[in-house]
A and B are shown apart, each in its own frame.
Chain A
Amino acid sequence: MSRTFLGMPPFPEAAAVSTQNAQLRANLTHATHTIRDKRARAVTELDDWAQLRQAGQEIKDHTLRHLDHYLLQAEKAVTAAGGTVHWAADAAEANRIVADLVRATGESEVVKVKSMATQEIGLNEALAAEGITAYETDLAELIVQLGDDLPSHILVPAIHRNRSEIRDIFRDAMGRWGRPAPDGLTDSPAELAEAARLHLREKFLRAKVAVSGANFIVAETGTLVVLESEGNGRMCLTLPETLISVVGIEKLVPSWRDLEVFLQLLPRSSTAERMNPYTTLWTGTTAGDGPSNFHLVLLDNGRTDTLADEVGRQALRCIRCSACLNVCPVYERAGGHAYGSPYPGPIGAILTPQLRGLQSEVDASLPYASSLCGACYEVCPVAIDIPEVLVQLRERVADQAPGHRLERAAMKSAGWLLDHPAAYSAALRTASRARGLLPRRLPLPGPAKAWSDSRDLPTLPEHPFRDWWNSRPNGEDGPKHDDGKTGKDSAAR
């Protein structure tokens, strides 16, 4: 995945820093709460949202189950329509294919439609290494690029920035990339948008090559689909001579009928719109209309491995709407950069470690970057049970990562105690007796310190509940327990 995120610390460390950033917290809280409330309203407008969600889930599951069939169908259709299909097993192969295609045109500049797949493979950096400059044209991606920054949200990559920060970035950096920002630029949204429009217009009119992703590929006709709000994407998709689209193999839908479901699910879930302003569809090439050369790079990069996992494969249903980010209390506090990947938030916490593997500390920390509150599952338009996948991934981390040896030992000894009620009762009693000795803040390292750095520990009661119960006249030795179903060790196996 993107080299730009390499060197990030594991999630708990990165988040410990970002949670202290008051400006970031304020920007994120404002933005996520606004969009989550709008989404909730947009969704309640449809009586059949639950059925649509189920249809979305079923279409994706069906497609993933028969992915080999639909991929070959799409390849055939794209080729028949005048496009060229390339297969990329990993990021390096995809980047090499794109760089070779650009070089073959003789160009050293490309304009880009906002694309998660190219973020995932670090395409901009790979092209730069080949002497090719990639210009982001999505407004938020432009802000990120000009600010020498990393994206922190799937839909709104510059969500961590506010208007005055954006004004400063435009003023300081636009001139280095092309047309400078107008003098006296203020932070009014209209002025910022106009500055971006003028800056980008030059790029659109000059570019001979464009690079895009796609939200969907309709297998039956080989049609690619991009949904966007600004129209910048449509400029890239229609003006240049050569169009190169890098698309994950999971983006297929079988038919136009299936597409209809997602054209309802995606805009409402992501931007809370009934329909997104621009939906661009293209099928191969058409003489005299749009790019005359079209290349589709189908990207695996860990997707086949993900598909092999019975629980984890549901992450491949994701349509990148980012509704889960906008409701996630962890994302809201930690910010997107803490996830160390272009895919942040709850979906990133399950997608990134599956695509990249669990070997690195960052990736092994991601399945734990959730309180399992379930808000993400509730809003997911394709019903990805993110908490279920997180727990499954934690199991893999606990099995593989060496740092978990101590934890496993602790879990094992706790497990023994919990399976021996007599010993367990005695331990509760001992703890209660020692209650006077336990401070509410612990200086020693370990879980209790992690807890008591910010929170006081609860005071232990004088007696555990079971002692009170046993002291009742009809408690442990009373008549209720004669049936042998209860009592201290009746359940020992």
Chain B
Amino acid sequence: MRVALFLTCVNDALYPDTGRAVVTLLERLGVDVDFPTGQTCCGQPQYNTGYRRETEPLVHRMAKVFAGYDYVVTPSGSCAAMVRDNYPRIGAKARAEGRGTALGKAADALVPRVVELTEFLVDVLEVTDVGAYFPHTVTYHPSCHGLRMLGLGDRPVRLLRAVRGLTLIELPGAEECCGFGGTFSVKNPAVSTAMGTDKVRNAASTGAEVLCGADNSCLMHLGGLLHRQDQPLRPLHIAEILAATEQDATATEPTETVIPA
């Protein structure tokens, strides 16, 4: 099985710990994971802001970079949904506009192989207990695209429940959007902030130490609010929890200790 990590540009640039956690986790589970460095961005920010034509080179790039892999695993439900839901649309539009079928074929070849991390663990590797240890209280925010476009269901929660030492506390209003929404957070900052503020208030009300999510973009937005408000709640990507083991638990700061660099 040839597996590539599609890390996403946000994680590559801002959250390398998440990338290291995915690699550590998958290697621990016996997966030989590759990171093709020709990868950059799936084009979601451009596409969702109305710049479809500008995303086309990135669709080509994604298809070419990830050709030949059985699975393309990504720790972002949002970016996986971009490929699975929108790449076929971009290909079909290009065809309808009389610009050939190459883009559509490239998209079609990539789409079925792109899987979100928790889907890969539960559906492909068929594991829910990944051998993790994380002695903290955690509440989980299911991001919209993972929840509604990919239909991740309870996969992330099943994985978290199997983590030794972890206490999972239900997040009130979990299924509501956090207000990130890519460029929405910049174009409509007032509403975005109001949505995020309600989300972090709900998260803080659980008394959990960690706000876990499967999309660092949402966590960046929520983390920015938490940091501004001096809240003790720590945002953390699910991969970093699933990669954590007893050896990592000797120190107190989860993000620093999950993956020794």
CB distance from B77 to the nearest CB of A (A): 12
Partner-contacting stretch, out of A64-72, A128-136, A270-278, A445-453: A445-453
Among candidates A15, A396, A463, A486, residue contacting B16 with C-beta atoms closer than 8 Å: A463
Closest to B180 in A: A371
From 1 to 52 in chain A, residues with beta carbon under 8 angstroms from any chain B beta carbon are 11-12, 15-16, 19-20, 25
Which residues from chain A contact B179 at a C-beta distance below 8 Å?
Answer: 329, 371
10 pairs of residues in contact across A and B, judged by CB atoms under 8 Å: A12-B190, A333-B191, A368-B184, A398-B49, A415-B55, A440-B227, A454-B189, A466-B35, A487-B38, A488-B38
Chain B residues engaging chain A, CB cutoff 8 angstroms: 4, 7, 9, 11-17, 19-20, 23, 32, 34-41, 43, 45-52, 54-55, 57-58, 60-61, 64-65, 67-69, 89, 144-145, 148-149, 175-177, 179-196, 220-221, 223-225, 227-228, 261
Closest to B58 in A: A418
Inter-subunit contact A411/B181 (CB<8 Å): no
Which residues from chain B contact A371 at a C-beta distance below 8 Å?
Answer: 144, 177, 179-181, 184-185, 192, 195
Which residues from chain A contact B15 at a C-beta distance below 8 Å?
Answer: 461, 465
Among candidates A418, A461, A486, residue contacting B35 with C-beta atoms closer than 8 Å: A486
Using a Cβ–Cβ cut-off of 8 Å, how many residues does chain A contribute to the interface with B?
79
**Does any Cβ of B come within 8 Å of A255's Cβ?**
no
CB distance from B116 to the nearest CB of A (A): 15
From 365 to 400 in chain A, residues with beta carbon under 8 angstroms from any chain B beta carbon are 367-375, 377-378, 388, 391, 393-399
Nearest first, the 9 closest Cβ-Cβ pairs linking A and B are A371-B181, A455-B224, A394-B50, A491-B38, A398-B50, A373-B177, A486-B36, A465-B19, A465-B16
Which residues from chain B contact A173 at a C-beta distance below 8 Å?
Answer: none
**Does any Cβ of B come within 8 Å of A456's Cβ?**
yes
Inter-subunit contact A454/B225 (CB<8 Å): yes
Inter-subunit contact B40/A424 (CB<8 Å): yes
Closest to A484 in B: B68
Inter-subunit contact B186/A451 (CB<8 Å): yes
Known contacts: A12-B187, A455-B221, A461-B14. The answer to whether A485 contacts B148 by CB under 8 A is no
Known contacts: A375-B148, A421-B40. The answer to whether A398 contacts B51 by CB under 8 A is yes
Q: A333-B195, A369-B188 are in contact. List 20 more A-B contacts (CB 8 A).
A: A12-B187, A19-B193, A20-B190, A368-B188, A371-B179, A373-B176, A419-B40, A424-B40, A425-B37, A454-B193, A454-B228, A456-B224, A465-B11, A465-B12, A468-B16, A468-B19, A487-B38, A489-B38, A492-B38, A493-B60
Q: Which of A16, A370, A458, A465 has the most CB of B within 10 A?
A: A465
Inter-subunit contact B64/A493 (CB<8 Å): yes
Which residues from chain A contact B14 at a C-beta distance below 8 Å?
Answer: 458, 460-461
Indicate with 1 or 0, residue by residue over A295-335, a CB within 8 angstroms of chain B CB atoms. 00000000000000000000000000000000001100110
Inter-subunit contact A464/B13 (CB<8 Å): yes
Cα–Cα distance between A388 and B37 once the two chains are bound (Å): 31
Closest to B33 in A: A480
**Does any Cβ of B come within 8 Å of A407's Cβ?**
yes
CB distance from A193 to the nearest CB of B (A): 32
**Does any Cβ of B come within 8 Å of A412's Cβ?**
yes
Cα–Cα distance between A488 and B37 once the two chains are bound (Å): 5
Which residues from chain A contact B20 at a C-beta distance below 8 Å?
Answer: 465, 468
Inter-subunit contact A374/B144 (CB<8 Å): yes
Closest to B147 in A: A374
Q: Which of A19, A397, A412, A489 has the most CB of B within 10 A?
A: A19
Cα–Cα distance between A333 and B176 once the two chains are bound (Å): 12
**Does any Cβ of B come within 8 Å of A490's Cβ?**
yes
Cα–Cα distance between A404 and B41 once the two chains are bound (Å): 22
CB distance from B146 to the nearest CB of A (A): 11
Closest to B7 in A: A465
Among candidates B48, B184, B191, residue contacting A19 with C-beta atoms closer than 8 Å: B191
Inter-subunit contact B67/A485 (CB<8 Å): yes
Among candidates B43, B61, B68, residue contacting A485 with C-beta atoms closer than 8 Å: B68
Cα–Cα distance between A470 and B40 once the two chains are bound (Å): 15
Which residues from chain B contact A489 at a C-beta distance below 8 Å?
Answer: 38
CB distance from A151 to the nearest CB of B (A): 20
Inter-subunit contact A19/B61 (CB<8 Å): no
